[in-house]
Amino acid sequence: MSVEANTRAIEKTVVTDFSDRMSYGSYLDLDTLLSAQKPVSIPEHHDELLFIIQHQTTELWLKLVLHETLAARAALDADDIGTALKCVARVKHIQKTLTEQWSVLATLTPTEYSQFRDFLGNSSGFQSYQYRAVEFVLGNKNAGMLKVFESDPAAHELLSTLLHEPSLYDAFWQSLARQGYDVPASALDRDVTTAYTFNEDLMPLIKFVYENHTEHWAVYEAFEELVDLEENFQLWRFRHMRTVLRTIGMKSGTGGSSGVGFLQKALELTFFPELLAVRTEIGR
């Protein structure tokens, strides 16, 4: 076979002159993006690039997750449940990508990581303000976390704002109330600056929707979409914990946490507890 036979000809209509046109690279600002990986190990360790890119891509996906969850909340504020669920559906696909991404970092062996870990100082994923922002929007609020971001005014302002705003779940119940559902006052008037906790008052309404889902399909579907969202988040947390265990064992985290023990406690946190609890009640 000749070289020409194994070469795809460039079509004449393909644009090749970008002296005065926007190119793929300029649109994506690849010069900035691809120069943002700055290893700090001395001498530079081969595997630090993997570590940096893993976390940078996670932050990019978290930026989109936050963008979509805020849009979903805004849609619920407008009683547009269809648009809200479209945003949630996109988040679910992002979550699957984020969870699978841990398998790449898991190729970093304990020996390899130990050779550049000390150069990280106290930097840690614990300090990801976008991750905290997503948790806040979904209802896992913790005012104490703001202290971590006092040296970053923009991050501190974002988290402070989200702390005082209703969560996605709060907006959901407010929307159902406006649509005529008998949402208890305890769900509508709660202190939105606190972490969401199980509300027994909601159980009759949720059970009613599940048992009469044909007549209340949109709400029934929303319940299940939110359960998917929570389950995906828990799978991400679990995969994170197992990857850390595989890489550093039971060592403390670089940010000062107990490491795996701290991550295990996160598995006990929940966003939409009633939607899980109702499963015990269905069919009784």
CA atoms in the 13 A half-sphere facing the CB of 18: 9
User: Which tokens belong to 120?
Assistant: 């990280």
Count CB atoms within 10 A of the CB of residue 21: 8
Cα 217 from chain centre: 27
Q: What is the CA radius of gyration of the chain?
A: 23
Residue numbers in the known binding site for substrate are 51-55, 113, 117, 254
Residue numbers in the known binding site for heme are 240
User: Which tokens belong to 76?
Assistant: 């619920």
Task: Check whether the bond before 43 is cis (ω within 30° of 0).
Answer: yes
Cα 159 from chain centre: 15
Region of 139 (left: φ > 0; alpha: ψ -120 to 50; beta: rest) is left
The C-alpha atoms of residue 234 and residue 256 are separated, in whole angstroms, by 23
CA atoms in the 13 A half-sphere facing the CB of 169: 31
* Spatial CB neighbours of 198, under 8 Å, sequence gap ≥ 6: 273, 274, 277
Residue numbers in the known binding site are 51-55, 113, 117, 240, 254
